[in-house]
Chain A
Amino acid sequence: MNATSSVSSPDEEKLKKHFKVTRFIMEAGVKLGMRSIPIATACTIYHKFFNEICFDDYDPYLVAMSAIYLAGKVEEQHLRTRDIINVCHRYLNPGSEPLEVDSKFWELRDSIVQCELLMLRLLNFRVSFQHPHKFLLHYLLSLKNWMNRHSWDRSPIATASWALLRDSYHSDLCLRYEAQHIAVAVLYFALQCYGVEVPSTDSAENQWWQVFSVDVTKIIINNVISDLIHVYTLDTEIL
């Protein structure tokens, strides 16, 4: 793929590349019928892999395919290599015919399996992750009961925070922050975007987010949000 902008730094190029490949993971994941947790796991595996090793040595799309396959196993939503290959082929070559089941196909399947083994070895079998999803779900349910019902119904806080969380996987946020902190931050950001206020925030001894997570700070929340904004900036630069 060609560089989209000649002015950006090599680091920025890398981020863009990862952005594209993780979007590939998400879209292929949706086409394969994967639930949100396995998709999140696939993205986390992908980021962790490239966090460990040099980017140029491996084809990111092969790594992505293996990450999808491995995530299916980890999260008990088993996928067939064959389906993964077909979906990914279609994604990368829109409008093309399905791949012939020939030696090339088998070689591709073997490389997915080999790459899975490589990833397991590199990540030292640490492929179970705590994702922010369950925390976010819990926070949303608690907050909903606390909030004014009308102001809650008027603004799509749940949808927005869920979308923010999903999009966060375009970068390696999941590696740099704790799951609970990401969950708090996306919720905070969503509330801010829609100008929704949590009742009696001013008079409360503790901020609402301090109730959800004892060790989160305003600085962490701000950092997560600024990283999130950067993800969306990348998005506009790529397209």
Chain B
Amino acid sequence: MGEVLCISVACGACCGGTGRAISASCPGTPSVSEENHTPELTDFSDVPCPVRALPPQWYHTVQVRRIRSLRARSNSDPLQGKNLGQGLQWQRKGLPFGNASSYLNLEKLGEGSYATVYKGISRINGQLVALKVISMKAEEGVPFTAIREASLLKGLKHANVVLLHDIIQTKETLTFVFEYVHTDLSQYMAQHPGGLLPYNVRLFMFQLLRGLAYIHHQHILHRDLKPQNLLISYLGELKLADFGLARAKSIPSQTYSSEVVTLWYRPPDVLLGATDYSADLDIWGAGCIFIEMLQGYPAFSGVTDVFEQLEKIWSVIGTPTEDSWPGVSLLPHYKTEWLTLYESQPFGSIWDRLARVMGAENLAQKMLKGCPRERISAEDALLHKFFSTLPCQIHQLTDVRSIFTVPGLSLKPEMRDLFFSHQKGSHHKPW
């Protein structure tokens, strides 16, 4: 083969060689040997001293300059003849971003869709962070969900979207450093069973829609809304997270892969096989979460099968017809004979707490329309009368300002916290 093979093989040998040299020839610091460990950040926190002593290039196997300078030299010496004084100099200058040793991980928080998430602390500024450690497969490189999440989040700066602080690359892992948010809506609802305080639901819902309005304006869909992906801070700030499935929204002619949203929060058009969804996809999910917050249990839950899920939805909004939803019969999974023909029900008769809060039933009904084109947009939903009791300054905030910067606005204690506050642990005090 022509120049391609020669040069690229040389480059491959060089890049690969660098990594191998690092792990193979560091007898003085055995615990850093990346070969013997699963690539988790625990390795680094377990051995703070050796890590601190290492110059940054240990973790920067793909840094441009470094590869260039390595080319002519031997791969067996990991420091490439540079004296350690350089490392000391770097220490004195302070810890840089983009470096694994700048963060200590504290505890494992959970396994995500393609990564493990740790709670960590920044050694640069002492802030708590969430470290999303993505392990890379040798054959496939960086997972596409990670690429998309990072490339989309890079362009997003909003109070209701989780903030991506930093990206760290090591030989086998890629770590995204996010702001740390202490809980998520799923946990919050589990701690407060039986439905949340309508006042708090209003604040959460406003923030959810505010975040959605922002990302939709940037032509991005979240595509995977569920309570687990909505982070809740101590103050009650809600942040959209987990953009692994999110994508840039294109013109409707584009089709997307249809397997995206968790079944419970999936709109009927997607269940019927539609691939031309748009912002309306997220609105349905947000509507489901709205009902779940008020009512205390998921709106359309407990099913695993697409058709059961559809039946469940039809039993509330009515079995669709060409009159109520033009074009529905053309969708791939549409059946001409549904088991039962349902009439649409008032939402308040199914979810009683919706009827008891002013405007809630109407808003839910506007969000959960079968026909995607009829669903209210996030921007319009923010102006819905359900939110009319909130101070009007809330609509004038700049993107990065939290709604809690509006005077007098704060999360109220949930009923359960009022009853049990003296018995509970300290982590509930802030409410």
B241-276 vs A, Cβ < 8 Å mask (1 yes, 0 no): 000000110110110110000000000000000000
Q: Is the CB of A92 within 8 A of B2?
A: yes
Nearest B residue to A58, CB-CB: B11
A126-160 vs B, Cβ < 8 Å mask (1 yes, 0 no): 11101000100110000000000000000000000
What residues of chain B lie closer than 8 Å to A81, measured between beta carbons?
139-140
Flag the segment in B48-56, B151-159, B300-308, B355-363 that touches A. Answer: B151-159
- Decide if A166 is an interface residue (CB 8 Å cutoff): no
B142-163 vs A, Cβ < 8 Å mask (1 yes, 0 no): 1010011011101100000000
What residues of chain B lie closer than 8 Å to A104, measured between beta carbons?
5, 9
- Decide if B72 is an interface residue (CB 8 Å cutoff): no
- Count, chain B residues at interface, CB 8 A: 43
B155 to chain A, nearest CB (A): 7
A121 and B5 contact, Cβ closer than 8 Å, known pairs A74-B151, A81-B139, A128-B248: no
A75-90 vs B, Cβ < 8 Å mask (1 yes, 0 no): 0101001000000110
Question: When the two chains form the complex, which single residue of A62, A73, A126 contacts B8, counting CB atoms closer than 8 Å?
Answer: A62
Q: Is the CB of B15 within 8 A of A125?
A: no
A138 to chain B, nearest CB (A): 7
Flag the segment in A109-117, A185-193, A218-226 that touches B. Answer: A109-117
A108 and B154 contact, Cβ closer than 8 Å, known pairs A120-B147, A121-B169: no
Q: Is the CB of B147 within 8 A of A73?
A: yes
What residues of chain B lie closer than 8 Å to A99, measured between beta carbons?
1
Q: Is the CB of B139 within 8 A of A109?
A: yes
For residues 3 through 30 of chain B, which have their beta carbon under 8 Å from a beta carbon of chain A? 3-5, 7-9, 11-13, 15-16
- Decide if A124 is an interface residue (CB 8 Å cutoff): yes
What residues of chain A lie closer than 8 Å to B257, measured between beta carbons?
76
Q: Is the CB of B247 within 8 A of A76?
A: yes
A59 and B7 contact, Cβ closer than 8 Å, known pairs A92-B1, A113-B140, A124-B154: yes
For residues 306 through 341 of chain B, which have their beta carbon under 8 Å from a beta carbon of chain A? none
What residues of chain A lie closer than 8 Å to B254, measured between beta carbons?
37, 134
A86 to chain B, nearest CB (A): 12
Question: When the two chains form the complex, which single residue of B141, B144, B154, B248 contacts A113, counting CB atoms closer than 8 Å?
Answer: B141
Nearest B residue to A129, CB-CB: B248
Q: Is the CB of A69 within 8 A of B64?
A: no
Q: Is the CB of B148 within 8 A of A111?
A: no
Question: When the two chains form the complex, which single residue of A111, A116, A128, A137 contacts B12, counting CB atoms closer than 8 Å?
Answer: A111
Question: When the two chains form the complex, which single residue of A37, A57, A93, A125 contacts B2, counting CB atoms closer than 8 Å?
Answer: A93
A37 to chain B, nearest CB (A): 8
What residues of chain B lie closer than 8 Å to A116, measured between beta carbons?
141-142
Q: Is the CB of A108 within 8 A of B8?
A: yes
Whole-angstrom distance between the alpha carbons of A73 and B155 in the complex? 18
- Decide if B62 is an interface residue (CB 8 Å cutoff): yes
Whole-angstrom distance between the alpha carbons of A122 and B140 in the complex? 19
Whole-angstrom distance between the alpha carbons of A138 and B257 in the complex? 23
Q: Is the CB of A118 within 8 A of B2?
A: no
A110 and B138 contact, Cβ closer than 8 Å, known pairs A59-B8, A76-B257, A128-B148: yes
Nearest A residue to B251, CB-CB: A134
Whole-angstrom distance between the alpha carbons of A74 and B5 in the complex? 26
Q: Is the CB of B154 within 8 A of A93?
A: no
Whole-angstrom distance between the alpha carbons of A28 and B56 in the complex? 38
A62 to chain B, nearest CB (A): 4
Nearest A residue to B16, CB-CB: A110
Whole-angstrom distance between the alpha carbons of A105 and B248 in the complex? 34
Question: When the two chains form the complex, which single residue of A53, A73, A108, A122 contacts B144, counting CB atoms closer than 8 Å?
Answer: A73
Whole-angstrom distance between the alpha carbons of A61 and B247 in the complex? 28
What residues of chain B lie closer than 8 Å to A128, measured between beta carbons?
148, 151-152, 155, 248
Q: Is the CB of A59 within 8 A of B64?
A: no
B21 to chain A, nearest CB (A): 15
- Decide if B127 is an interface residue (CB 8 Å cutoff): no
B84 to chain A, nearest CB (A): 25
For residues 31 through 62 of chain A, which have their beta carbon under 8 Å from a beta carbon of chain B? 37, 53, 57-59, 61-62
Q: A108-B8, A108-B12, A111-B12 are in contact. List 5 more A-B contacts (CB 8 A).
A: A76-B257, A114-B12, A115-B11, A121-B62, A127-B151
3 smallest CB-CB distances across A and B, nearest first, come from A111-B12, A73-B144, A59-B7
Chain B residues near A (Cβ < 8 Å): 1-5, 7-9, 11-13, 15-16, 62-64, 67-68, 136, 138-142, 144, 147-148, 150-152, 154-155, 167, 169, 219, 247-248, 250-251, 253-254, 256-257
Provide a sorted-by-A list of 19 A–B residue pairs whose CB atoms are within 8 angstroms: A37-B250, A59-B4, A61-B3, A73-B148, A76-B247, A76-B257, A81-B139, A81-B140, A108-B8, A111-B9, A113-B138, A114-B12, A115-B8, A118-B62, A120-B150, A125-B147, A125-B151, A128-B155, A130-B248
